[in-house]
Structure 1
Amino acid sequence: MDKKVCVVGLGYIGLPTAALLANRGYEVHGVDVVQRTVDIINRGEIHIVEPELDTFVHAAVNSGKLKADLKPTQADIFIIAVPTPFHDGYVPNIDYVVSATEAIAPYVQEGNIVILESTSPVGTTDKVAEVLASHGIDTSKVHIAHCPERVLPGHIMRELVENDRIVGGITPEATEATVVFYQTFVEGEVLSTDAKTAEMAKLTENSFRDTNIAFANELSILCDKFGIDVWELIRLANRHPRVNILQPSAGVGGHCIAVDPWFIVHAGGEDAKMIRTAREVNTYKTEWAIEKIKNAALTFENKHGRKAKVACMGLAFKPDIDDLRESPALYITRRLIADGFDVLAVEPNIESFKEFEIVGYQEALEKADIITFLVAHKEFKNLEIETDLDFCGV
């Protein structure tokens, strides 16, 4: 490839994308605002846990095809892959997208492709065009499009290639040019639409997941009330040929499912009734789990005359990754510590954490009086556990 790609944001999506493109022959200039991240990548190493990513980054850097920096540079294709969190009150925050667009503006030229991959509220791609135009760029001569990432942490390198992608440009020409780019490295189908539909498609996918998880989580709360084993109930119900209930959890985490539905609710207002309710159910499930653990710990203290050591097994938002973004497990652990409970925090995918000590899972099992499995990490499966310990099902 003789084209140069500038990827802004070298996190869980930007770095895998940059490494993949570099290994496909593109010259890739990666940009991040954190010097430590830039230094780690330029050594051919990674700052996040993701299977196969270390191999891709090492090969890309050694080949000279991937370089990281604090500032953008001129390129043929610009990819924005920065966070899109929300303010208090679940108001979408696209400040990082605006800042990234302003950073690349001095380098964008006629004929370039500018792609927003960050999951964003409807209308954000148009905002990218507005920011570029405010810097004197004739956006009619630049191909601006949205192509939301839709990968599963733990399988990112494979899914970047295999999954279908949705591309929506602010003009038909932008859509076409961007589709051609993705077709150079995506084996799945690259689907064409407009920018707003592409933005809404990603929000819809995650809201659908959130709604289905909320159903499972509400079932688990009801089954606890009724004295029913929710796992057996779901196993039996799923034997129906048209029923596929998901597994309940301590809540919903990650930057996507726990965040994106609020983008729809914020814009849709009272018309987003079901989506809002699902978010509220999943948020409540985390609070419900905290109360279950606290009650178990207080019952132990009343029975034994001492505070219980509570093992919180897992801090990440899902199994076998180190991603803590919007993690209900981390939130639960923080709350228990803040409320004075004696907590043994376990996260096998993280070596250390600045807020509190992380202990190994074997040590936690030896010392704990109460064990609560918050994340189904592979290390926790098939463990031999003393039967006189208390378990707290959440």
Structure 2
Amino acid sequence: MTEASGIREQALRCRDAAQALAQLDSVAKDALLVSMARALEDDAAAILAANARDLEAARARGTGGAMLDRLALDPARLAGIARALREVAALPDPVGQVTRRETRPSGIRVERVRVPLGVIAMIYEARPNVTADAAALCIKAGNGVILRGGSEAIHSNTAIAAALQRAIGQADLDPAVLTLVTDLRRETMLELLQLTDIVDLAIPRGGEGLIRFVAEHARVPVIKHYKGVCHLYVDRAADLELALRLLLDGKASRPGVCNALETLLVHADVAARFLPAAGAALRARKVEVRGDDATRALLPEAVPATEDDYAAEFLDLVIAVRVVEDLAQAIAHVRRYTSDHTEVIATADEAAARAFVGALRSAVVMVNASSRFSDGGELGLGAEIGISTTRLHSYGPMGLEALTVERFVVHGEGQVRHPDLL
């Protein structure tokens, strides 16, 4: 399919291909996903060479840090992408699942049954793994997918999509069920976001600017996730060694991802014992600390924190720190600055844990576990297509079920609602 034919024509062909895909049973879809994983492995050299071109161009533009990390592939990461496709194949198929049955007083039997959404538009930046992850999840759930990646990953995305489309074609399906948009003009993306008669859902993944642009210009429904300002609160009853592990894993393991910690809150009763050790450990990992006055009294090397720091998604080796008087002040801070992504409490006090969980509305709340578990794979969804901080049909990490909807299927034996009129 050439770009000259237009984005609407591409989307129509994707919708038609999705209708054929939706007729496949679970066995056929799973076999297709395994073939797609194998195609990625077969094309590994070409995919890595394409990624090297993207990385070279990115470095020439001065790109570094988190963005370069998100863009980069290596043999281990590519193997992980193929493994994720096989993991999705092994997951239960939600399509056709009956979630509820009941017989009404009229005698009709009512079922709620999961069906595919239809056509999903993925608009994303930097991460070439999204090309494969989104394709796997959409196809398993019986949907067509239109992929519009960023210019920084165009060669990687094209190579990955070519491998996956080859496997789809070999399964006697139209490869347009996975459509990669290579016309990256903004006008083309805007047109895609207006196709209310074809596209059923748009999922943007990337920086806050991209997501706001999509949300403000789309006429199709949009799942939004602006940023991940994730908090760790170290309670007065925390095991401080456990809390330090959560801090280091959450901040230093991979700072450029949305489930990385951005803010540390420490109860005043344990600050003098916790912060010096935490500061030393963060310093050893080259993490810059930005703190309030109470924090800087214990960590003189800390930079003064500004109001903006507590609202920031740094996506870098930087963390904002505040000492709080009690649990209530910690909750108030999180409520003020939260992005509704992930919050963590370290505590041995069950009542404090219940209060923390109950008071916050974020999509994921952790008790004595790292924020880095806020991920579809870690939470049992397989590869995730995104994280929703919008309270629509899905909230939090989105897996297969989030790419389906429930419809009503009704069985009767000739019942009518108004027999007196007959």
> For this structure pair, what is the TM-score category when the shorter chain's length is used for normalisation?
under 0.3
Larger radius of gyration: 2
Q: Which has the higher contact order (CA 8 A, sep 6+)?
A: 2
Q: TM-score, normalised by structure 2?
A: 0.24
Larger proportion of strand: 2
